[in-house]
């Protein structure tokens, strides 16, 4: 069964800290992996997409890495800010045009 797990479920850090969110998937034959952000009561915002042939992607203070062989991805957030507080979702897709399979998300709170 293809499943995605995110650890931790919730994380609270002081402003300015660097942090890592973890995502693991049971079937390593992914097509790509996408990280999203969801603010309370809002839709999903795509943060980074890593294709299966790539090892990492960067956007501003965000860096996502992918290790297909071990079935893991990490989202690194540098110099966290209160505005980063949200739920972060990891999702994988196994074929072009297919469905995203989501993890349960990590709820991040950055305290001023």
Partner 1 sequence: DTAVSQTPKYLVTQMGNDKSIKCEQNLGHDTMYWYKQDSKKFLKIMFSYNNKELIINETVPNRFSPKSPDKAHLNLHINSLELGDSAVYFCASRTSGGANEQFFGPGTRLTVL
The full DSSP string for 15-37 is TT--EEEEEEES----SEEEEEE
Rounded to an integer, what distance in angstroms lies between the CA atom of residue 61 and that of residue 40?
22
Sole binder of partner 1 in the list 11, 13, 19, 44 (CB under 8 A): 44
Q: Within 13 Å of residue 9, how many CA atoms lie on the same side as its CB?
A: 1
Sole binder of partner 1 in the list 105, 106, 108, 110 (CB under 8 A): 105
**Shortest reach from residue 39's CB to partner 1, in Å:** 11
Residue that is written with structure tokens 């999203």 in the block:
36
| Sole window of 14-22, 39-47, 58-66, 67-75 interacting with partner 1 (rule: CB under 8 A) | 39-47
Sole binder of partner 1 in the list 78, 99, 109, 111 (CB under 8 A): 99
Q: Return the percent helix, strand and coil in the chain, to nearest 5.
A: 5, 55, 40
| Sole window of 12-20, 66-74, 77-85, 87-95 interacting with partner 1 (rule: CB under 8 A) | 87-95
Q: Give yes or no for a contact between 16 and 80, defined as CB atoms under 8 angstroms apart.
A: yes
36 binds partner 1 (CB under 8 A): yes
42 binds partner 1 (CB under 8 A): yes
Which residues of this chain interact with partner 1, rule CB under 8 A?
31-32, 34, 36, 41-46, 49, 51, 87, 89, 91, 93, 96-102, 104-105
């Amino acid at each position: 069964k293809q499943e995605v797990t995110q650890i931790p479920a919730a994380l609270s850090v002081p402003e300015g800290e660097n942090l890592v969110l973890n995502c693991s998937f049971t079937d390593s034959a992914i097509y790509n992996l996408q990280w999203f952000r969801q603010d309370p009561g809002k839709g999903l915002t795509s943060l980074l997409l890593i294709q299966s042939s790539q090892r990492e992607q960067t956007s501003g203070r965000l860096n996502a890495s992918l290790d297909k062989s071990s079935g893991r991805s990490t989202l690194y957030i540098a110099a966290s800010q209160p505005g980063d507080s949200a739920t972060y979702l990891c999702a994988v897709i196994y074929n072009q045009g297919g469905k995203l399979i989501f993890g349960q998300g990590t709820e991040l709170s950055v305290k001023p």
